[in-house]
Amino acid sequence: MIILSVNNLPFIWYQALKIARNRCSQVSLYRLDGVVTAQAYHLYCAKCKTSFYHSFSEQQGSDQNPNLRKYNPSVLQTDIIMVSRETAFEMRYLREVCVDMELGRSFDDVAERYNRLYGQVGEERGVLQKKRMEDAYFLLKLLQFFNTELTVQINKTSNRIDVDDLCDSAVVEVFSSENEWKHHVCKVKGCLEGFIMCDGNEKLCRRICAAPRETINLSRSMPKIVDKCGNSPVFGGQNQQASKYCRNHQELAANEPPAKKILLTINIPDQIVSSRIVAMSTDLASNSDTTMHIACKKAANVKHFHEKTAGIMAIVRPCGMVLDCRELYTCESASQLFVQLLKLIDEPNARIEYIGYDRACEFVPFLRNLKKKGNIGAEKLLEKQYLVDNFHIAGHTSEACDPASDKCEFHHSLPKFSKISDANTECAEQTFSWLKRYKNIVKYMTASRFRFFIYTVIKAHNEAIDRKK
């Protein structure tokens, strides 16, 4: 029998809890070699209405105020961490889960593997649920990130912690702080010389609210900004119906007409079974009642239930160091890259002199147009040198990309790029070949979890590169 006691409480707390009564509960402990039932003892103070557990303290709220749970970073040095009152994980096993995530295995796959090896069929908590493991993973990563006491709200009904709220706080801190990788210098050609490669990738996307986008004109000298709700839609589940809108835009769902039912013909050989007519409810761009064959249904005629983001835009050093990574809510555009690059070059000692981009021949004219309108940011960015990478340049036919033309500006073979002539211009594509392994993991993540997860895997990737320099 494994017994979990109250750990890491100062002596003064024990003095204050002399009149408190001991309590024992059953906890499912997920270990490296299988799930076991443990006994967890905790203390309760009637005066402040606080319970002290193995890994956290929990304070009861009122009808107006939520229950609060506090985690101390010292739990990272213990062998076991309690995620909730009923669930605990062995630290050794959680660290293995972190490695699995870094290697691109999904939470579903890791949970399925665990259950096939150690699952106890027929017992409610004898199997490891994907949601339970995901919460434990994020809690561990958040404790490592903040390295301070964490206070989080608890859902009074489900007794789950609000991981999304903590992820939001972490993401705000990440994007508001100084870039932690800008000082990286290694012997890889182009890294010391200040070369970066920019590229977008649509594979790493997630479901997003279907609220309509809005184009905003900030000023004459600024590019147009597309405002799009980045919240996740309501996916459905217990006591809630799936919706393509987020919780903040449910009024749009109420005003939307119901999806029209159409008839689809399924072609099945007569020798197997006679053809059948199947009624299916789907969202179509057209309102036609015409019967269609499934094999002839074109993607252009079908409107997906859930909208999704357009992927990510990454900025990478030729050594593979990822300097910046942002979500794209709409299709890749010059205005989005403009904002992303501007923030990066404003950092002191950013070391950016050469910028590679597969659409540099479109991006530079865009900057020149903004400069004419008086945009200072565009003027700063035009001080840099721009080129098209080796792979994409073959498909460019304009004079600006043709080395035989006097008007050529962006071909990588030009003399002005001699300092980085041997630099790896495919570093962004190579980074995406690694990042795309996470596409199935993040597909249904919320916005806050997606951003924090991408940050954690990129951080692990960058730290591995930094160790090799």
In 3D, which of 354, 347, 40 has the Cα closest to residue 196?
354
Q: Are residues 301 and 313 in the same domain?
A: no
Q: Residue 238: what pLDDT?
A: 59
CB 258 within 8 A of CB 251: no
Q: Are residues 202 and 281 in the same domain?
A: no
Q: Final residue of a domain: which of 280, 305, 330?
A: 305
Query: pLDDT tens string for the chain (469 positions)?
Result: 465 655 544 434 444 444 445 567 788 899 998 888 888 877 777 777 788 888 888 887 776 777 888 888 888 998 999 888 889 999 999 999 999 988 888 899 999 999 999 887 666 677 898 988 999 999 999 999 998 888 888 876 667 788 888 899 999 898 888 888 888 899 999 999 999 999 998 888 898 888 887 776 666 667 766 778 888 888 766 566 788 888 888 888 777 665 544 444 434 344 333 333 333 333 323 333 333 333 444 444 444 556 888 899 999 999 999 999 989 888 888 888 998 998 888 888 888 999 999 999 999 999 999 999 888 989 999 999 999 988 888 888 888 998 888 889 999 889 999 999 889 999 999 999 889 889 888 988 888 999 999 999 999 899 989 888 6
Quote the Cα angle for 384-192-388, to 5°.
Answer: 45
**How many domains, the chain?**
3
Q: Residue 66: what pLDDT?
A: 78
Helix count and strand count (H, E) for the chain: 13, 21
Quote the Cα angle for 199-179-321, to 5°.
Answer: 45
Quick check: is 166 in a domain?
Answer: no
Quick check: is 239 in a domain?
Answer: no
Q: Are residues 283 and 326 in the same domain?
A: no
Distance of CA 252 to the CA centre of its chain: 26
In 3D, which of 255, 228, 229, 34 has the Cα closest to residue 126?
34
d(CA 395, CA 261): 44
3-state SS, residue 356 = strand
Q: Residue 124: what pLDDT?
A: 67
Q: Residue 139: what pLDDT?
A: 92
Q: Are residues 288 and 377 in the same domain?
A: no
Angle between helices 447-468 and 91-102 (to 10 degrees): 80
In 3D, which of 177, 206, 175, 454 has the Cα closest to residue 328?
206
In terms of residue numbers, what domain contains 99? 2-161
- DSSP secondary-structure letter at 260? P
Q: Are residues 365 and 385 in the same domain?
A: yes
**Residue 3, strand partner residues:** 39
Distance of CA 140 to the CA centre of its chain: 16
Strand 354-357 vs strand 385-387: parallel, antiparallel, or unpaired?
A: parallel
Quick check: is 240 in a domain?
Answer: no
Quote the Cα angle for 216-221-226, to 5°.
Answer: 20
Q: Are residues 201 and 89 in the same domain?
A: no
Q: Are residues 361 and 213 in the same domain?
A: yes
Q: Residue 162: what pLDDT?
A: 83
Residue 322 structure tokens: 């990822």
Q: Residue 160: what pLDDT?
A: 75
Type and span of the H or E element at 335: helix 334-345
Q: 71 CB contacts (<8 Å, ≥6 apart)?
A: 55, 56, 139, 143, 149, 150, 152
Angle between helices 447-468 and 130-146 (to 10 degrees): 60
Quick check: is 242 in a domain?
Answer: no
Q: 206 CB contacts (<8 Å, ≥6 apart)?
A: 232, 308, 309, 442, 443, 444, 445, 447, 450
The amino acid present at 237, given as its one-letter code, is G
Q: Residue 10: what pLDDT?
A: 42
Quick check: is 169 in a domain?
Answer: no
Distances (CA, A) of 462 to 91, 324, 432: 24, 11, 14
Q: Are residues 324 and 414 in the same domain?
A: yes
Residue 247 structure tokens: 């919780």
Q: Are residues 20 and 149 in the same domain?
A: yes
Q: 360 CB contacts (<8 Å, ≥6 apart)?
A: 386, 387, 388, 410
3-state SS, residue 324 = strand
Q: Are residues 450 and 334 in the same domain?
A: yes
DSSP one-letter string for 26-79:
EEEEEETTEEEEEEEEEEEETTTTEEE-SSEEEE---SSS-EEEEE-GGGGGSS
Quick check: is 237 in a domain?
Answer: no
Q: Are residues 6 and 147 in the same domain?
A: yes
Quick check: is 328 in a domain?
Answer: yes
Quick check: is 260 in a domain?
Answer: yes
d(CA 125, CA 370): 60
Type and span of the H or E element at 355: strand 354-357
Q: Are residues 320 and 296 in the same domain?
A: no
